Amino acid sequence: MDSEDELFETRDFYLAAFLKVKNIKLVKAVKQGELLIFCFEKNDNLEELITNFYADSEDVSANRLINAIRDLKALKYNIKER
39, containing H or E segment: strand 35-41
H/E element, 27: strand 26-32
- Region 53-75: mean pLDDT is 95
Contact criterion met (CB below 8 Å) for 23 and 63:
no
pLDDT of residue 1: 47
Buried b (16+ CB within 10 A) or exposed e, 49-59: bbeebeeeeee
How far is 28 from 39, CA to CA, in rounded Å?
A: 5
Q: Which residues on adjacent β-strands are paired with residue 35?
A: 32
Number of structural domains in the chain: 1
10-48 pLDDT tens trace = 999 999 999 999 999 999 999 888 889 999 999 999 999
Domain enclosing residue 22, as ranges: 4-78
Average pLDDT value over all residues in the chain: 91
